[in-house]
Structure 1
Amino acid sequence: MNYESIKLNIEDKIATLTINRPDSLNALNAQVFSDLDQAFDLLAADQSVRCIIVTGSGEKSFVAGADIKEFSSYNAEEAKALSKRGHIIFSKIENLNKPVIAAINGFALGGGLELAMACHIRYASDNAKLGLPEVTLGLIPGYGGTQRLPKLVGKGMANEMIFSAKMISAEKAKSVGLVNDIFSQQELLEKAKELAAQIAKNSPQGIAKAIEAVNASETEHGMSKEIDCFGDLFAKDDFKEGVSAFLEKRKPSFN
């Protein structure tokens, strides 16, 4: 498919999705949301894709927030619809049946950080700056930021970031658990691809169930979800192949 605001490349079971609005530092607008929605539907259904990397074009910005011009005249009901659309798309990413890695190559602010937090794993370049500046506009994070950030960094740090609107460095983000690792700008995408390639070798059925179980960990049903997911996998082809390969002392081949 052709997209107006993103580039999508699929190679060796890895999809690289690049948000491509460099003139606006890859800011999120209605077109980006539409393209993301369609692209992730396609990637979820494409059995040749085992892992997805999301990044931004250029070396300055992953996503520098929402396109404020687009919603500056919205009324309350229009704003709620905008927030709901962001929630739906970012939840789709969070609950996708295959891992999504954010390669944060610069600014990840506002909606950009919320997009990164919806991904399962976050790598950052050493020049990355992360923050939620919405209160400087008289707003709050509206695409899940107030819910996902406390789970990642704790309530106190989340409150500090949201209330102060300050940006933090990649080093600080790693120290509080917001990003998994840091690399140079030149290494970032390659390191994300290395991780994606390692993930792609493993059972897609197992990983899909792992995502489901981990995402249930914050609910009261997390333990029972894990039990169900564990049991369900015993009826899957990947389990049979994985056990056979182990017993036969060979590498598994998951199709």
Structure 2
Amino acid sequence: MSETAEDHVLASTEAGIRIITLNRPKRLNAWDAPMRARLLELLSDAAADDTVQAVVLTGTGERAFCAGQDLNEGKTFDGDRAEDWIEEWRALYGAIRAFQKPLVCALNGLAAGSAFQVALLCDIRVGHAGSKMGQPEINSGIVSATGFWIIREMLGLSRAIEMVLTGRMAEAEECHRLGLLHHLVPADEVRATALRIARELADKPKLAFRLNKQRFREATQPGFDETFAAARALHRQAFSDGESQQVMQRFLEKGKA
């Protein structure tokens, strides 16, 4: 039986906390269009469900929260599809930014590229020694238009430039020191710690919590809008040229070798 997006993004609830799990461990939970659509659907459901007090986002396996974009999908893009792809991310990132309830990321492993960006858009991040984070998109021929903006918002221009151009993955200790990871705990405590923090946040005064998150979003919305306008143009140019697809193909072939 073939797997579906419902198999690749799971949802369960524990005492009012909705747990959303990326579940594609053979590909390090890398996501494609159906997974992104499923995640957006689950976040929308959690936002509308009054019995859900908070969300914990995590992944299956010991190696990765998510390796980011599935290059097997990306290597097929042309300029038109690249623009649609960016619109899919705009919808997902916009939903995360507009999510009024607590959203905690339990990083069971590495978070690369777009997964790094999704993690940074969550309210609180919990990880362990294997929770590397970074923006390696340049290494597979992908422009870091949205990643640059999110990293710059978090860390400033100098570190954003360095992380985007080197494509390096930062070790968990560095991520914790910089504030990219708020809590660094043993691997077997990540999930429990994330659930505890989600419950603590859910117990905060709800109106004040919601208005604070609304203010965070409003203050950064102009940059968000400018970023996605730029991302559409940059990715159309990159994928129309063909370099991105060629580099992805070489990257995949090297991995198989």
Interval containing the TM-score (normalised by the shorter chain) = 0.7 to 0.9
Aligned to 2:244: none
Aligned to 1:18: 21
The answer to whether 1:85 aligns with 2:88 is yes
Aligned to 1:146: 148
Counterpart Cα distance in 2 of 1:213 and 1:184: 33
Alignment of 1:108-123 (within 5 A): 108-123=111-126
Q: Is the 8 A contact 1:4 1:31 kept in 2?
A: no
CA deviation map 1:79-105 (0-9, x unaligned): 111012112112211221112111111
Aligned to 1:62: 65
CA deviation map 1:185-220 (0-9, x unaligned): 101111111111111222223211110012233469
Q: Return the TM-score normalized by structure 2.
A: 0.81
CA deviation map 1:161-195 (0-9, x unaligned): 11000110111011122121211110111111111
Aligned to 1:127: 130
Q: Is the 8 A contact 2:132 2:169 kept in 1?
A: yes
Aligned to 1:183: 185
Q: Return the TM-score normalized by structure 1.
A: 0.81
Counterpart Cα distance in 2 of 1:30 and 1:172: 31
Q: Is the 8 A contact 1:6 1:20 kept in 2?
A: yes
Structure 2 counterpart of 1:30, one-letter code: A
Distance 1:39 1:218, change over 3 A: closer
Long gaps (5+) in structure 1: 221-255
Counterpart Cα distance in 1 of 2:55 and 2:125: 12
Long gaps (5+) in structure 2: 223-257
Structure 1 counterpart of 2:199, one-letter code: A
Structure of greater relative contact order (alpha carbons < 8 Å, 6+ residues apart): 2
Structure 2 counterpart of 1:89, one-letter code: L
Structure 2 counterpart of 1:141, one-letter code: S
Counterpart Cα distance in 1 of 2:104 and 2:13: 14
Shift of the alpha carbon at 1:134? 1.1
Aligned to 1:238: none
Structure 2 counterpart of 1:153, one-letter code: L
SS at match of 2:100: coil
Counterpart Cα distance in 1 of 2:39 and 2:206: 22
Q: Is the 8 A contact 2:101 2:202 kept in 1?
A: no
Counterpart Cα distance in 1 of 2:6 and 2:142: 30
Q: Is the 8 A contact 1:174 1:182 kept in 2?
A: yes
Aligned to 1:9: 12
Q: Is the 8 A contact 2:58 2:105 kept in 1?
A: yes
Structure 2 counterpart of 1:186, one-letter code: D
Moved more, 158-167 or 84-93: 84-93
RMSD: 1.6
Aligned to 1:161: 163
Structure 2 counterpart of 1:185, one-letter code: A
Q: Is the 8 A contact 1:111 1:141 kept in 2?
A: no
Choose the corresponding residue for 2:52, options 49, 53, 58. Answer: 49
SS at match of 2:6: coil
Shift of the alpha carbon at 1:18? 0.5
Structure 2 counterpart of 1:51, one-letter code: A
Counterpart Cα distance in 1 of 2:179 and 2:86: 26
Q: Is the 8 A contact 1:104 1:122 kept in 2?
A: yes
Aligned to 1:237: none
Choose the corresponding residue for 2:212, options 189, 193, 210. Answer: 210
Q: Which runs of 4+ in 1 moved over 4 A?
A: none
CA deviation map 1:138-162 (0-9, x unaligned): 22235x3121111111111111111
Distance 1:157 1:188, change over 3 A: same
Q: Is the 8 A contact 1:13 1:200 kept in 2?
A: no
